[in-house]
């Protein structure tokens, strides 16, 4: 049975943020192409430094098994175990230099993350779930997809409808149903000096 999680927030947030989490169990259900394109359109409208839009996405769906297997092979083995259930797999890629002057764009990864966050919240709004993965094989991705110099694979993305944790390997099942947690705001939001609690935080 699918498990929904609501974040236990310190302060009120939009319900899309409260509902978002990163499952490993995905249902055996395709994602409509029009819906997938809307998610990518949401990513397209993310903000970026100099409006550089340094994000690129490689996309594979179960409807094309050969392409799907190529994408799956770019994930580390531990992620392949569960991501192979997702109907859509993606790789986010960063363009590492500015187009207008060729200088390094140190904000590129930040901006790719912002675009993927836009994609994720659009997905949440239509009942889909996203799990982003640091565990990818960067060199294999470059070779498989002929990613050119000046671009680098950033993260893997599994996308689909929420599935039954019972379909997961036993080692992952418990993690799937555990509540999501975060460090308190006091540990990450400062005022005055580094480490000094912001006065707004009572």
pLDDT range class, residue 51, cuts 50, 70, 90: very high
DSSP for 42-99, written as a single string? HHHT---GGG---EEEEEEETTSHHHHHHHHTTB-HHHHHHHTT-SEEEEEEEE-B-T
pLDDT range class, residue 171, cuts 50, 70, 90: confident
Residue extents of the structural domains in the chain: 15-164
- For residue range 69-100, list pLDDT tens digits in order: 999 999 999 999 999 999 999 999 999 999 99
- For residue range 122-149, list pLDDT tens digits in order: 999 999 999 999 999 999 999 999 999 9
Domain 15-164: CATH class, spelled out: alpha beta
State the residue for tokens 């609501």: 6
Whether pLDDT at 174 is above 80: yes
Give residue 2's pLDDT.
77
């Amino acid at each position: 049975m699918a498990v929904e999680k609501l974040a236990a927030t310190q302060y009120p947030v939009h319900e899309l943020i409260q509902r978002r989490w990163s499952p490993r169990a995905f249902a055996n259900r395709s994602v409509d192409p029009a819906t997938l394109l809307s998610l990518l359109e949401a990513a397209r409208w993310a903000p970026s430094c100099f409006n550089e839009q340094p994000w690129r996405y490689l996309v594979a769906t179960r409807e094309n098994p050969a392409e799907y297997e190529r994408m799956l092979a770019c994930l580390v083995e531990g992620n392949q175990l569960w991501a192979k259930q997702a109907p859509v797999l993606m790789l986010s890629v960063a363009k590492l230099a500015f187009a207008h002057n060729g200088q390094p764009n140190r904000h590129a990864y930040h901006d790719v993350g912002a675009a993927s966050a836009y994609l994720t919240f659009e997905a949440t709004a239509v009942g889909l779930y996203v799990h982003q993965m640091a565990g990818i094989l960067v060199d294999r991705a470059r070779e498989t997809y002929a990613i050119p110099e000046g671009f680098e694979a950033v993260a893997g993305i599994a996308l689909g409808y929420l599935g039954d944790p019972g379909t997961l390997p036993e080692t992952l099942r418990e993690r799937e149903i555990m509540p999501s947690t975060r460090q308190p705001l006091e540990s990450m939001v400062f005022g005055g000096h580094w480490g000094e609690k912001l006065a707004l935080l009572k």
